Amino acid sequence: MQLVLKNINKTYKKGAKKALDGFSVTFNKGIYALLGPNGSGKSTLMNIITGIIPKDSGNIEFYENDEPKSYANSIGFLPQNQDYYNNFTALDFILYMMVLKKYNPEDKKAYANKILNSVNLINEKDKKIGAFSGGMKQRLGIAQALIGEPKIIIFDEPTAGLDPKERVRFRNVLAGISENKIIIISTHIVSDVSVIAKEAVLLSKGKVLKTGTQKELCKEMQGKVWRVKCDYPTAMLFMTKYKVSSIVEEDGEYSLRLLSKEKPTENCENVPPVLEDLYLYEFGEEEGL
Ligand code: ADP
Ligand code: MG
């Protein structure tokens, strides 16, 4: 199974800068993280793949067993700002979405229940959506994206506004549904996807900056991530001079994780890089960190 995007271009208004600028990536089975700061073109790309907005040029092809197929009926989508009818129950909503998607299993209620169960909402199925927490709404959004067993599932910033507990739950739900699918998740919160994503695509100003497995991407950061223990004034000094990806205080001693091409001071030791380090390295300034 492959989703092949070739040279996708998009400009919203004449004369405006390109929202997508020659975007080309091949997605295989598995979970992909689409990473980039606000305005980098993540939503534009997702809205083009799902057919919500037209592209200016470029090709999108879908292959199953090396044969070209139409994917229009096998795509699930959770948009960035999904709205809900507050008076609907979770079950009403899923049944309603099944109608919209023209998905007609023999036992509609049993199917809706199965879908709700897969996102841990089965005990809330008769509650009104208006009473749902952000995390519950988000899981309901995931549930509707699963209707009809789509081969491709796209989530646009699914973890925005979730509390830490809900983030963990989101990761667990995704890990449970990811088999035999292409799943693309956009976010600018790398830690939400770094555990589950096989590969990452770094998007900058509508262009692919980097793409690869986490291992491949982290390799480039080898030797550039440092840990240092120091006192408060030194920690503050490091913060102004380097990109610091984490800072932990324990009994007045500060432990910093920072990025630098060269060894900053003698007492700095190299640590293995993670995807967050690469993101900070590439986008630190743009994100205002
Ligand atoms: P992201 O999802 O990564 O934050 P977007 O795809 O929303 O990025 O935006 C990419 C670029 O396209 C930005 O410069 C944004 O201002 C512009 N853009 C997005 N949607 C529209 C629109 N409907 N009309 C005009 N410009 C838009
Ligand atoms: Mg967006």
pLDDT tens, position by position, 250-261: 998 999 999 999
**Cα–Cα dist 200/110, whole Å:** 36
Instruction: Evaluate whether 274 touches 35 at the Cβ level (below 8 Å).
Output: no
As a whole number, mean pLDDT of residues 87-107 equals 95
Query: Which residue's C-alpha comes closest to atom 12 of ligand 1?
Result: 19
Which residues does residue 210 pair with via DSSP β-bridges, in sequence order?
Answer: 202
Position in ligand 1 atom list of the atom nearest CA 17: 14
Provide the token pair at 193. 């996807």
For residue 49, the ligand closest to its alpha carbon is 1
Please list, in sequence order, all residues whose beta carbon lies within 8 angstroms of the beta carbon of residue 215, skipping any fewer than 6 positions away. Answer: none
Query: Which atom of ligand 1 has the smallest separation from the CA of 45?
Result: 6
| Residues in a beta bridge with 89 | 128
- What is the per-residue pLDDT for 286? 62
Write out the two tokens for 176: 């449970």
pLDDT for res 168: 85
Could you give the count of Cα atoms lying within 13 Å of 66 in the half-sphere of its Cβ? 0
Atom of ligand 1 nearest to the CA of 10: 12
Query: Do residues 155 and 42 lie in contact, with contact meaning Cβ atoms separated by under 8 Å?
Result: no
pTM of the entire predicted model: 0.91
Is the predicted pLDDT of residue 289 greater than 80, yes or no? no
Q: Are 109 and 117 in contact (CB under 8 A)?
A: no
The alpha carbon torsion through 272, 278, 284, 289 (nearest 10 deg) reads: -40
List, for residues 165-186, the tens digit of each pLDDT value: 888 888 888 887 888 899 999 9
For the record, the structure tokens of 275 come out as 């995807």
pLDDT of residue 287: 58
Tell me the ligand closest to 42's alpha carbon.
1
What is the maximum alpha-carbon separation in the chain? 69
Mean pLDDT of 146-156: 95
pLDDT at 146: 93
